Every structure is written in structure tokens, then in C-alpha cells.
Amino acid sequence: MKKIVIAAEVFSSNLGDYAIYDSLSTLLSSRDIEAIPLDISFRRGFPVGCTDSQPKLTNRSWKSFIPKKIKHHKLTQHIITRTMWYVFHQQEITTYWSELISSSDAVIIGGGQLLTDTSAGFLTKLALITDIANEFNKPICILGCGVGSDLSKKAQKNIKKILNSARFVSLRDLDSANRLKHFVRKDISLNVYPDLAFALSSANNNNTFQKEPELKKTVCAFNIMPLAAFKKYNPNLRDVDAEAYVIFWKQLAQATAKENMQIHIVTNGSIQDYEQATSIYKSILLEDLDVRLLDRPSSPLNLYDQISDVDYLITMRMHAGIIGKAYGKSVSTLIWDDKIPGVWQEAGDQKVAINSDIILNPHPWDEVKSAFEASNNILLSDLNRKISISVDKCLEVIYN
């Protein structure tokens, strides 16, 4: 059987990221190709117990003893990542990745914001993967990726190395393509197609979550993450505190209740997201509204199941919204990163993505409803067709 290594953030604690790999691997399987996961953060699966509803002290790593403000500082992240790589991981990982790549037909750098200059060193790892692929004379392609806006000289050097070896390049938004224009070879075209995860439901043949119809209230889900990401991204939110953030969600909850909807509060698997969601849930509960806090998802399938059970979805994690759209839900998503509007623009309508100034709006529901309408205008059949074209173009380069 044909085999292709998929290099990506496959087993991330943000379970929405897995939808990218899940969709691509299923699309490859439908073409009689086995996908081999290569997690660029060295994970080989979802750790046992990593998604329990509450963190366990017995599972704490040495990093958990570093104060959050220090641990999350960019310099600290850089030092930790480089130390772990050069002292503990490099030789073992190089050997393991070489085994995967040498026994496969090709490598696809497969989806997500991978071509970006992060403290996790994505580009350094992808450059190593490129070297290994070249060593074993395996074609390497880029499929459905995003590109960061700020690239250091070292990052640019690594991107040039990757692009010089890539036989096919497909990005998930026009902004990403524009950022690579100056680095790509003249004989390589920069293709732009929707994020791979939009094909999730189609790739799984729409059978994963078919349930017996039942009479129930319409459900609107709130997919919640901490305020900090929004404050970092949007200077207008610099003075927004935890209380104001809770008030924003209460306003949405009250508007949802007026629409006679039940509220489900969901997260993507992150402990920090779940802690924030729990706090907001308790505050909404005091308003005597019909609200449920769903368990922190224990697997990607659990996340899909939670999303499949709602009708409307207000998301903060981008791939929660993409999964929602893949399962035919009405979606709105708040912008906390430059990548989000472009991804939805390529999907069909940028208006699905809402400016995070909405957190300051005392009446946010109208904006959310407009985003729902925009998402409903995006045809899944078009998304699936475009993504299939991108996959087939990539495979044609690999096997012809």
C-alpha cells in the first residue's frame, strides 16, 4: 500500500488541530494511501490522562513548577524549546523521523499554521524533515498550511530551504500565499485552497455522528478560551478585565435565552480553556438560564461529538468553528489572530469572523447573528470539491 508521512501538529492538546490530520488522512485513505503521522512536537499519540476533566498533580512535569508569567514568556519558551531539542530530543527524533520517512513514498507538511516563527521552533523542525526527505530522495509537499506574519532571518532561511525542496505548495489563505511570494522558486506555483479540516465531515462520509432524531431545544454552543489571547492581539481590549469578559458572555447567554435556545459551553481540550469556561458557566448559572458545561473533551472524536450535537456555535478556537461548519452548523468565530479572517475568506465569507471589539459591545447578539448568516451561505459542497482538488494536485506531483 502507498504511504505518505504527514508532518503536522497531530496530537496537540488543542484537539481541534487533529481535525486537519483526520480530514487529510481520511482523504488519502479513500485514495488507497496510508497516512503516517509525524508530530513535529515529538508526540506519538495523545498522552494517557492528558484530557481528564481536572489536571492531576501526579502527572505534573518539571515545567509545571515554573510560574506561568515566566513560563509563557517568549524568551523562556525559546530557551526551554532549544534546550529540550539539543539536549534530549535531536538524535532520537532524527532517527525516528528517518525511519518513518525512509519507509514512505513522500512527506506532506500537512495543514495548520506551521510556516511560522514560533517559540516551538516549527520551522527548524520542518527544515530537518526536509533534509531527511532529501537524504532518502522522497518528494516533499506543502498542503493546506498557513504562514506567520513576522519571520526572523533564521525563519526566512528555513522557509527558503523548505520551499526549495517542495514540489507542490498549497496554502489555506491568500495572506499566507502573499507572504511566501518572495521565497518561492519561479517554477513553483502558490496554490490557495480552503483549510483541510473543512472536509472533515465529507472525509468521514457523514456517518460518524448520525443519531436518531429527537425533539429537543435548539442548542447554541459557546466555545471559550481565556481572555489573555484577545488582549494580546487587540489593543482596544487592553483594559478589559475578567469581570467585563464574564459580562460579555452573560449578554450573549441572555440573548440566546430570548431565542429559546439551550446553551452548551464547550472547549477544545486545553486545561486553561476549561478553567475559563468553568468560571463563565458558574456566572451564567447564577442568571437562572438553561446552560450546560460539557466535560473537557477526552479525544478528538469526543470534541466532534459535542459539536455535532449543537445547532449554533460561537467559537474562539478557530478549528472548533471549522469543525462546526464541516458538520453543517451555523458558526461565528471571534478574531484573536490575523490568520482567522483569511481562512474564512478562502472558505467563502470573511464575515463569519467577528472583530474581537465585540467584547466591548453591550449588545453583541446582532453581530453574532450576522456571522451565522454568513456561515450558512458557505456551501460545503464547494469546500469539499476545492479541498479534493488540492489533494489530487498534490498526489499527482508525488506519484507522476
The CATH number of the domain holding residue 20 is 3.40.50.2000
Other Cβ atoms within 10 Å of 130 Cβ, number: 21
Q: What is the mean pLDDT of residues 131-154?
A: 95
Q: What is the mean pLDDT of residues 217-245?
A: 96
Residues 245 and 334 in one domain: yes
Q: DSSP class of residue 261?
A: E
Residues 285 and 160 in one domain: no
Q: What is the pLDDT of residue 51?
A: 41
Residues 142 and 234 in one domain: no
Q: What is the mean pLDDT of residues 124-151?
A: 96
**Cα maximum dimension of the chain:** 63
Cell numbers 488519502 correspond to: 28
DSSP H helices in 120-270: 122-135, 153-165, 174-180, 200-203, 228-233, 242-258
Q: Is residue 343 part of a domain?
A: yes
Render pLDDT for 264-315 as a digit per residue (tens, 0 to 9): 999 999 999 999 999 999 999 999 999 999 999 989 999 999 999 999 999 9
Concatenating the DSSP letter of every residue in 39-80 gives ETTS--SPPTTTT-SS--GGG--GGGGS-HHHHTSHHHHHHH
Q: What is the mean pLDDT of residues 110-125?
A: 88
Other Cβ atoms within 10 Å of 153 Cβ, number: 8
Q: What's the one-letter identity of residue 367? A: E
Q: Which three cell numbers stand for residue 127?
A: 527544515
Instruction: Report the SS3 class of residue 262.
Output: strand
Q: Is residue 209 part of a domain?
A: no
Residues 191 and 159 in one domain: yes
Residues 259 and 117 in one domain: no
Render pLDDT for 195-229 as a digit per residue (tens, 0 to 9): 999 999 866 654 445 555 555 799 999 999 999 99
Q: Containing domain of residue 360, as a range?
A: 218-379
- Our count of domains for the chain comes to 2
Residues 198 and 225 in one domain: no
Other Cβ atoms within 10 Å of 396 Cβ, number: 10
Residues 307 and 178 in one domain: no
Concatenating the DSSP letter of every residue in 301-339 gives HHHHHHHHT-SEEEESSHHHHHHHHHTT-EEEEE-SSTH
Residues 199 and 223 in one domain: no
Q: How far apart are CA 383 and CA 194, in angstroms?
A: 7
Q: DSSP class of residue 357?
A: G
Average pLDDT, the chain: 89
Residues 374 and 387 in one domain: no
Q: Is residue 210 part of a domain?
A: no
Q: What is the pLDDT of residue 70?
A: 56
The pTM assigned to this predicted structure is 0.89
Q: Is residue 334 part of a domain?
A: yes
Residues 149 and 269 in one domain: no
Q: Is residue 59 part of a domain?
A: yes
* Band (150; pLDDT cuts 50, 70, 90): confident
Q: Is residue 247 part of a domain?
A: yes
Residues 280 and 152 in one domain: no
Residues 51 and 18 in one domain: yes
